Amino acid sequence: MKHAVFRRRLTLLLILCTLVPLFTVGYFYLRQVWTHQTDEVISETRSQLNTSTEQVTKQIDAIYTHLQLMRQNSYLYDLLNMNLETNTSDFFSTSHHVVDVIKAMEASENRTIHIYSYNNLSYEGMFLRDISELPSSLITAVLAGKTPLREAHLPTASSGQETGEFIIYDTIWGVSAPLAIIEYRLPFESIAQAFRFSIPKNSVILYETEQGHSVMIHHSFDKKEEALNWVQHRDPNASGKYYVIEKPLNWGTDRIIALVPSSYVYGKLQNFILALIAITLVILLLILSLTIYISRQMTRRLYHLVLSMNTDVDQWLKQEPTQVQGNDEFSRIASKFYDMAARIKEYYHRDAESEKENKSLQLQLLQERINPHFLYNTLSSLRWAFPNERLESIILSMAKYYRIALNEGHFRIRIEQELEMIREYLNLQRFAYVMEFTYDLQIEPELNDCYILKHLLQPVVENAFLHGIKGLKDQGYILVRVVKRGGQILIQVRDNGKGMTPEKLERILNSEPNEQSEAAGGYGIQNVRRRLELHYGIQHGIHIQSQPGAGTTLTMLIPAESSHAPL
């Protein structure tokens, strides 16, 4: 029902005022729980990565310790300097000592150690190899390094087989030249095994080298093929789908990356979220029931007041004012409303008549408020003027001026007549102030017969003369230009006079006519603007550009009214 709109709005407002805080609190609470659960999963995974990384670091440190022991082993040093042909018994005796050391090192973690000797006569046995078996580029890299060289040969992600290995190379130096290169091989499986701890469902752990190559070393998918397929096709930019936990290794720039799906957190919170939704629905039903009941109680009197009103406003206004019973707020509203409606109708008719009459009076009043001070100055000057020819010319100009100005009471004249009146006005001012100045009245011929408000331009020209060029040392100049712009007439009045500061211009434009008419000359700029707005509409006004010492330009745009337009 139309008269129940307020009730519905009130109900909606009450619901919003209740639900917005409820949902806001619920949102932040759920977000806090989600964040806490996420931090817990990430923290647990990171802690496990740290523990596993420490285990792997111990393995690598043990390898470096073995390499150092081998470089310092005197038996190995002597063996690499022996000649098998001349020292056969000593060679094999020393070799047994070295073999025992290497076997002890290889016993754990399934490691393999080879020694590539520069002595071409050395015996190639269980661990000895000739240096020529290594690529020359590898030899160069090992000899150039200050620390042992490490190479990682990782299995590919597509194979899923941990068949790769880590190889560490170190150099055994003689007095002035290298004696051999030690090759220490560690299976990749021994590294991967340290990271096979319990991880969330559908998570993976990757080993990534400094070159960006990565291999899966652990997963929690149901099938290994699913894990491999996910690793191959995962989007590195889709970080919102899983949490990334990184742990750099203590050697080189390799790192371990654990990827935990964000859906895992949702799964852990699923029961909690469902319970929260159920509680929220129950609260919503209670809130809805309470708000409907409260809104009905609050709007009951207003509801009956609306029903008692006639939907036809005009017919309702014709009725006699209704006496409203009661003394509450809604009763007072109804009483004031009936009284106000009756007064509005009376004021409307009265205001319409007053507005019509007021417009007519304003136009008439503004036309009749002509300041004739220039006429008084001219008449005063006639007493002193001579010769008679000059006096006759002035009197003739005055006659022409007033013949056009009176114009049998019409408030509009042709633009040609307005310009003729301005011409005679300027001639009178030239005589009255005994000064030389030039003026130019330009109009497109087709606009001569268009109509304009009488005395619309004369106050503007008067302002340009009295407050622009009057008193100039150089010759003053006034230009009146009338041209057509589409269906409108553009009028410009320009002078080369004193100009105005922005403050003075603002004061003239914003002052009331009676405040600045004397200062602005004639009607005053504000008076002209009011006549434009009253007759042509509020969209038609004036625009003034002026700078001190650079003159003033006034522009106005009015409709082009033909000679057939009614007067």
For residue 455, the model assigns a pLDDT of 85
Percent pLDDT > 90 in the chain is 9
For residue 361, the model assigns a pLDDT of 45
Q: Give the tens place of pLDDT for each residue, 61-113.
A: 888 888 888 888 888 888 888 776 667 777 778 878 888 888 888 776 578 88
376 band by pLDDT with thresholds 50, 70 and 90 = very low
CATH superfamily assigned to domain 386-559: Histidine kinase-like ATPase, C-terminal domain (3.30.565.10)
For residue 365, the model assigns a pLDDT of 46
The rounded distance, in Å, linking the Cα atoms of 442 and 457 is 13
Compute the C-alpha angle 205/207/213, nearest 5°. Answer: 130
For residue 482, the model assigns a pLDDT of 94
Contact indicator for 206, 256 with CB cutoff of 8 Å: yes
For residue 398, the model assigns a pLDDT of 74
Contact indicator for 262, 240 with CB cutoff of 8 Å: yes
Domain ranges of the chain: 1-309, 317-366, 386-559
Q: Give the tens place of pLDDT for each residue, 289-338.
A: 887 777 776 666 666 666 656 555 556 555 665 666 667 666 777 777 66
For residue 402, the model assigns a pLDDT of 72
Mean local confidence (pLDDT), 163-180: 86
Mean local confidence (pLDDT), 424-447: 88
- Classify the C-alpha dihedral 352-355-359-365 as positive or negative: positive
Contact indicator for 469, 439 with CB cutoff of 8 Å: no
Closest CA to 494 of 442, 429, 558: 442
Tracing tokens 């409709």 back to the chain, one arrives at: 559
Mean local confidence (pLDDT), 146-162: 66
Closest CA to 515 of 359, 507, 501, 463: 507
For residue 159, the model assigns a pLDDT of 44
* Strand pairing report for 178-187 and 242-248: unpaired
Percent pLDDT > 70 in the chain is 74
Torsions phi, psi of 254, nearest 5? Answer: -70, 160
For residue 516, the model assigns a pLDDT of 45
Q: Give the tens place of pLDDT for each residue, 458-479.
A: 889 998 998 888 888 778 899 9
Mean local confidence (pLDDT), 45-64: 87
The rounded distance, in Å, linking the Cα atoms of 230 and 221 is 10
158 band by pLDDT with thresholds 50, 70 and 90 = very low
The rounded distance, in Å, linking the Cα atoms of 198 and 396 is 117
- Is it the case that residue 440 has pLDDT exceeding 90? yes
Q: How far apart are the first and last CA of the chain?
A: 54
> What's the token pair of residue 46?
């990171």
For residue 363, the model assigns a pLDDT of 59
> What's the pTM?
0.45
The letter for the amino acid at 315 is: Q
Bigger pLDDT: 341 or 428? 428
Question: What is the four-CA torsion angle of 54, 55, 61, 67, rounded to 10 degrees?
Answer: -160
Bigger pLDDT: 398 or 408? 398
Q: 283 — alpha (psi -120 to 50), left (phi > 0) or beta? A: alpha
Three-state DSSP at 156 gives: coil
